[in-house]
Amino acid sequence: MSDVYIPGVKSRFNTEKIIEDLMKLERVPRERVAKDVEDLQTQKTYWQEMGRRITSLRDSAKLLYSFQNPFNDRIVVSQDESVLTGTATRNAVEQERSFTVKQIARSDRFLSAPLDRSFRVEGGNYTFSVGEDEISFNFRGGSLRDFADALNRRGRDRIRADLVAVDPATNSLLIESLVTGAEKRLGFSGEAEKLALETGMIGQSYNTRRDVALNADTVRGPELRLAENVLTVAAGGRNQIYPGEAIPSGGMVLRFEAATKLLPGEHIPAPPAGPSIPGAGSINYGGITIENDLSSVPLPVWVPPEAPKRVDDLGILTLTFTDGSKAPVPPIRDSQNFAPYQYDLSGIAGGKTIASMELVNNNTNRDVSIRNIRIFDPQASGGAKPLNAISTAQDAVVVMDGIEVRRPTNEINDLIPGVTITAKSPSDRPVKLGVQPDRESIKEAIITLTGNYNRLVAELNVLTRQDERIVEELTYLSPEEQAELKKRMGAFQGDSSLNQLKTNLQRAAANPYPTAEERALAMLAQIGIGTDVRRAGASSGYDASRLRGYLEIDEKVLDEALASKLSAIQQLFGSDADGDLIADTGVAIAIDGIVKPFVETGGLISLKTGTIDTKISQEQRRIDTMDRQLAAKEASLKIQYGTMEGAYNRMERLSTSLDQFSRQNSSNR
């Protein structure tokens, strides 16, 4: 069927095929230029990838000597993270402290009695308080869930409510303060108090708070120094405090404020004046006065008395019970300003009733003052006491190196400059907390620098050499990545700038640099980084891959160096040699200086890709011109062959007409 000619549908002479074959020959120069453009685009991709490798190496090098270098980072290492943790800023000083967490800060969390799921909360104005903050809202009435949702919408970050399914048929209403600290008690008033009483969340209680007044009626002892409810006892003195009535200690807390005033150094008395001797007298005769000899009293040599032994005793308060026994209150700390102290009496009084208190100052060099003595039930608030308290509001109490501190939150950031500690749970034993350099971050930065160095050297080896073993030696690559690298083999084999870059990088990694311990540490190899870092017992045979310039890391040697020579390692990567406060020597600075001309604005990579872009633009314009010429040529061929076929068809029709005319004439004859 392919040989059948259909006028107007198929060319008699297959001119389309003829034109297509002719155009293939015409397109050869255009395809050659297009292949050149494709090669240029591939080269541009290779240069861009080279730029990314160099930029990664430069960034990792700058990290090791810039202002944000990891050598200045600090971490907090806790002996027991279940008790105490911490974070540190770069300004923190290396140190170690001992902490004992006596109690952690908590907030009030009160649970109601089990309530039927059909329990309804009446409408009204509900008012809650968290310390000094008050949360008040109108509730139109509804279920426990409706009430909890309404309270949560208005409680924001201060108070929260939830429902706890104690059993399938009941719910308990949980209301909790979101703010910790003894001063942030959860309170109820108005309709909120009625609801808390109705649901069994709180119950009425007697006011167990006892404020001990300090005045002439309650304080006994010599040399009373009283002023505005403040009792001061001089060094070596003591005073007895009588609260007026016995105070039960069960479940109670003792709170007071105390201050100390250090006295000047020990006083050495002057020698005694000795006895007073009257005058000797005289006689007057004939205008002549004769004086008697002065009396003399021989005195022993004066020996100054021995200075009293210095006594430092901050255990100033002792409790006396109705049975005659006594118990000391834990020591306070030196503070010129009044500092608060709070103690759980259950561990001090053992349930005994307090009859009096004694303020004893055994010190020889400080006065002690006390004020605002209060004994109270920590669970009671405003005449109400929670019946099912999940937790009660309290401060965090932490002892740092023997100094007890109290804070309303578990995050404490004002004890050690630059350090925030977080109390997690109480502990009977001290926990050591150390501020140290972040050696893991430093190690990671060094490993990152080494990895980026090796990836760049591998890229340079592949692009400048024709040896597939270079790719096969990179065992960390996937088969797809190896296949991609093999396509790049020798793409820039004659580029001297890349060969020079590789040589300079190898020299920078092998050179010595000035440090504080130049004899022990001046080269990367001395911290376990080098082109042939072999472990003991490893084979020492020939290995071509070790001659490519890649760096290896002996982690054991690196870890030991980071543990003992951190300052010298920092100087090895970047230090100030001329005293201008700008790092100017070191491995990282040398690497940065080598690669900077390649990737900076207007650098070699930018120049290379810009030149390629110019060539691509030129070649693209040639392609556009060729496309226009080829289109015109193809149109011309179609016209010529169309004209030829048209002429042939006319001739064929004329020949047919002549044949018909001839046959007609023959028939007529």
Is 81 inside any structural domain?
no
How many contiguous H segments (helices) and E segments (strands) does the chain have? 11, 36
pLDDT at 536 over 50: no
Integer angstrom CA distances of residue 108 from 102, 177, 392, 395, 458: 19, 5, 4, 11, 63
pLDDT band at 490 (very low <50, low <70, confident <90, very high): confident
> Residue 382: what pLDDT?
60
Is 100 inside any structural domain?
no
> Residue 55: what pLDDT?
95
Tens digit of each residue's pLDDT (9 = 90 or more) over 48-62: 999 999 999 999 999
> Residue 211: what pLDDT?
86
Is 304 inside any structural domain?
no
How far is the C-alpha of 494 from the C-alpha of 496, rounded, in Å?
6
Neighbour count for residue 593 (Cβ, 10 Å):
14
How far is the C-alpha of 258 from the C-alpha of 372, rounded, in Å?
9
pLDDT band at 647 (very low <50, low <70, confident <90, very high): confident
The mean per-residue pLDDT over the stretch 431-439 comes to 96
Q: How are beta strands 115-116 and 282-285 bridged, if at all?
A: unpaired
Backbone angles phi, psi at 85, to 5 degrees: -130, 175
Whether the CB-CB separation of 110 and 389 falls below 8 Å is answered with yes
Q: How are beta strands 186-190 and 124-130 bridged, if at all?
A: antiparallel
Tens digit of each residue's pLDDT (9 = 90 or more) over 161-179: 999 988 888 999 999 999 9
Q: Which of 653, 669, 648, 529 is nearest to 587 (CA)?
A: 529
Integer angstrom CA distances of residue 606 from 47, 48, 54, 337: 9, 9, 12, 66
> Residue 395: what pLDDT?
92
Q: Higher confidence at residue 67 or residue 442?
A: 442
pLDDT at 310 over 90: no
> Residue 3: what pLDDT?
47
> Residue 257: what pLDDT?
93
pLDDT at 425 over 80: yes
Backbone angles phi, psi at 410, to 5 degrees: -85, -15
> pLDDT above 90 covers what percent of the chain?
50
**Considering 552, 586, 620, which residue would you say is the last residue of a domain?**
586
> Residue 267: what pLDDT?
55
Is 569 inside any structural domain?
yes
pLDDT band at 404 (very low <50, low <70, confident <90, very high): confident
Integer angstrom CA distances of residue 579 from 8, 152, 482, 584: 93, 60, 48, 10
Whether the CB-CB separation of 544 and 465 falls below 8 Å is answered with no
pLDDT at 414 over 90: yes
pLDDT at 219 over 50: yes
Whether the CB-CB separation of 514 and 577 falls below 8 Å is answered with yes
pLDDT at 302 over 90: no
Q: Higher confidence at residue 124 or residue 544?
A: 124
pLDDT at 631 over 70: yes
Going by the DSSP 8-state scheme, the letter that residue 77 receives in this structure is E
pLDDT band at 442 (very low <50, low <70, confident <90, very high): very high
Structural domain for 152, as ranges: 109-204
Mean pLDDT is lowest, of 116-120, 422-426, 430-434, for 116-120
> Residue 469: what pLDDT?
86
Is 48 inside any structural domain?
no
Is 82 inside any structural domain?
no
DSSP string across 2-42 = TT---TTTS-TT-HHHHHHHHHHHHHHHHHHHHHHHHHHHH
Is 515 inside any structural domain?
yes
Number of domains in the chain: 2
**Considering 530, 559, 586, which residue would you say is the last residue of a domain?**
586
pLDDT at 108 over 90: yes
DSSP string across 286-312 = TTEEEEPPPP----PPP-PPPPPPP--
pLDDT band at 488 (very low <50, low <70, confident <90, very high): confident
Q: Which of 162, 151, 150, 157 is nearest to 188 (CA)?
A: 151
Which residue's structure tokens are 């070699």? 604
> Residue 342: what pLDDT?
84
> Residue 537: what pLDDT?
45
Strand partners, 391: 109
Is 609 inside any structural domain?
no
Average per-residue pLDDT in the chain?
A: 87
> Residue 5: what pLDDT?
43
**Considering 170, 204, 238, which residue would you say is the last residue of a domain?**
204
**Edge-to-edge strands of the sheet including 186-190?**
133-139, 124-130, 186-190
Query: At 570, which amino acid appears?
Result: Q
pTM score, whole prediction: 0.70
